Structure 1
Amino acid sequence: MTLLDGKALSDKIKEEVRVEVEKLKNEKNITPGLAVVLVGDDAASATYVNSKHKSCEAAGIYSEVHTKDSSTTQEELLELIEKMNNDPKLDGILVQLPLPKHIDTTTVLEAINPLKDVDGFHPYNVGRMVSNLDAFLPATPFGVMRMFEEYNIGLSGKNVVVIGSSDIVGKPMASLLINAKATVTVCNSRTKDLASHTKAADIVVIAVGVPHLLKGDMLKEGAVVIDVGINRLDTGKLTGDADFEDCKTKCSFLTPVPGGVGPMTIGMLLKNTLKAAYLRDKRESK
């Protein structure tokens, strides 16, 4: 069984981005810029935003963090986004989810300029992704695809089961796999007899937020398991949606939690921000 080391791969990607950013600065006098907006006091979101900020600085990307308290109105947030849409220093805008319940997430995401939507959540980019056109891809599924590439895990003709149908992971993951010519089955919390689907799968991608849902006896011999879930147990330990110890005896490839898919998300976000800067240069050069 081979562990898919997302930490090492993410570090490799961050270094590639740092080199490209340096080149862009020297040759084009362009510094990629990313703004992240955090509304409310969710501790996990705050930790994640801080990690993004540090990663940007390490890669030479200009970084802004806008922290707003949970009483911030939707109108105030939309005004901030409009200001950032018009800021030439910023190539990427990311609004950290989840937002407080009084703010409509769809309205906020649609307000972001699609050319600065480095999270890949705007309907413009979602539509282009589904149509297999060039687009900003959601960072987590994008990271999973990069892992498949790095470890030479072929997708064409493979039976892939995606467990989870969220807009952030499950749906875009399925679209990217379909574009790669895989045969894709999407399961969710209401799927009857989940094991009947997973036992036929060459590859399982799980992202439902249920600790240890996927067991070894639900897999066929040699399956590839990509565990996107991250859950904190009562003991404080972080664990995935797959039962790692139980699954590892069946798998040919398996992601650990932590240290698997998680680190890839920030690496791919930096790649999207760099891409946005190159697109800005292309527009300005016309």
Structure 2
Amino acid sequence: MAAQLLDGRAVSKAMLAELRADVVEFGRVHGRRPTLATVLVGDDPASHTYVRMKVNRCGQVGIQSRRIDLDEKTDTKELCRVIGELSADPEVDGILLQHPVPGHIDERAAFEAIDPGKDVDGVTRTSFAAMAFTEDGFASATPGGIMALLDAYEIPLAGRHAVVIGRSAILGKPMGMLLLGRDATVTYCHSRTANLREHVQRADIVVAAVGVPGLVKGEWVKPGAVVIDAGYADNQGDVDFDTAAQRASYITPVPGGVGPMTIATLLTQTLHAAQHRTTTTTLTH
């Protein structure tokens, strides 16, 4: 029996429709639109495509976008200066640094230059701590989008064994923290993990997030498992989709699964940042 598709396009469309109405209401009450600043360093075609998609989605839901494109030769100090200015700008509610940045830049230093109150992509240490301790804060956008997708299909998480393949600071690690916060039992797998197949075979939920096409073989998937493919390289996912779809209960397509949810989460968190900043400003005056 073929798995049911976890349709990120459909779920994100519903999220964006609700967001659009909330943005209109925010504008009616506060007399302005939420603003998301996007920072892009260099000329990587894929990064330009991603930023363009995010800017277009901003326009669709009524969020104002401010795009800052920096030269490939921009160094860490200059990038942090630009991000610091955006952090201090009262007209900016959220900041997105498109990653990856060029190799000569200290990406972590650049992330930490973002005001945590404007970290709508959930990339700072403060945001990670909030995820780890299940406190209020901004989720990393892709893991947060995955959680929203699981919730939309009412997939139970408590007590289930989740295997997260990948340990990046903005995808794998926060993904595990969010699942743990929902009472799943979480195993992290990575490039040094022995017997990856055995770990996957025991998993009720598999989240593949390494960007290695076809890394997870379909026959590894436990019958009835939920498969989330967050990998995307060369227009392919990390999971052998055709075979896995014959064994899983639910599975995300690539594309059309996780990607749309990432953008919807990013924009939703931009509105939340604007709402929080407006509330805080009102209380302090």
How high is the sequence identity, in percent, across the aligned residues? 47
Please give the per-residue CA displacement for 1:203-231, whole angstroms capped at 9, x wherever unaligned. 10101111111122211111110000112
- Indicate the residue corresponding to 1:265 in structure 2: 262
- Indicate the residue corresponding to 2:139 in structure 1: 137
What's the offset of the Cα at 1:74? 2.1
Q: Distance in 2 between matches of 1:146 and 1:186?
A: 21
- Indicate the residue corresponding to 1:163 in structure 2: 165
1:159-198 aligned at under 5 Å gives the runs 159-198=161-200
Q: Is the 8 A contact 1:163 1:205 kept in 2?
A: yes
- Indicate the residue corresponding to 1:235 in structure 2: none
Q: Distance in 2 between matches of 1:82 and 1:210?
A: 34
Q: Distance in 1 between matches of 2:83 and 2:208?
A: 33
Match of 2:114 among 112, 115, 125: 112
Equivalent residue of 1:271, what SS?
A: helix
Code of the residue aligned with 2:271 in structure 1: it is L
TM-score, normalised relative to structure 2? 0.96
Q: Is the 8 A contact 1:140 1:261 kept in 2?
A: yes
Code of the residue aligned with 2:172 in structure 1: it is G
Let me know the Cα RMSD of the aligned residues: 0.9
- Indicate the residue corresponding to 1:64 in structure 2: 66
Code of the residue aligned with 1:185 in structure 2: it is T
- Indicate the residue corresponding to 2:94 in structure 1: 92
Deviates more, 1:72-81 or 1:149-158: 72-81
Q: Is the 8 A contact 1:30 1:277 kept in 2?
A: no
What's the offset of the Cα at 1:136? 0.5
Please give the per-residue CA displacement for 1:121-170, whole angstroms capped at 9, x wherever unaligned. 11111112111101100110001000110001000000111111111110
Q: Distance in 1 between matches of 2:127 and 2:21?
A: 26
1:11-30 aligned at under 5 Å gives the runs 11-30=13-32
- Indicate the residue corresponding to 1:31 in structure 2: 33
Q: Is the 8 A contact 1:74 1:103 kept in 2?
A: yes
Q: Is the 8 A contact 2:127 2:140 kept in 1?
A: no
Q: Is the 8 A contact 1:5 1:260 kept in 2?
A: yes
Please give the per-residue CA displacement for 1:35-74, whole angstroms capped at 9, x wherever unaligned. 0000011110000000111111111111011011101122
What's the offset of the Cα at 1:119? 1.0
Does 2:258 correspond to 1:256?
A: no
Code of the residue aligned with 1:285 in structure 2: it is T
Does 2:283 correspond to 1:281?
A: no
TM-score, normalised relative to structure 1? 0.96
- Indicate the residue corresponding to 1:199 in structure 2: 201
Equivalent residue of 2:268, what SS?
A: helix
Please give the per-residue CA displacement for 1:98-121, whole angstroms capped at 9, x wherever unaligned. 111221111111111111111111
Q: Distance in 1 between matches of 2:130 and 2:7?
A: 30
Q: Is the 8 A contact 2:36 2:270 kept in 1?
A: yes
Q: Is the 8 A contact 2:117 2:273 kept in 1?
A: yes
Code of the residue aligned with 1:249 in structure 2: it is Q
- Indicate the residue corresponding to 2:239 in structure 1: 242
Q: Distance in 2 between matches of 1:77 and 1:267?
A: 26
Q: Distance in 2 between matches of 1:94 and 1:253?
A: 31
Q: Distance in 2 between matches of 1:102 and 1:252?
A: 43
Please give the per-residue CA displacement for 1:233-254, whole angstroms capped at 9, x wherever unaligned. xxxxx22110011111101000
Q: Distance in 2 between matches of 1:200 and 1:148?
A: 19
Gaps of 5+ in 1: 233-237
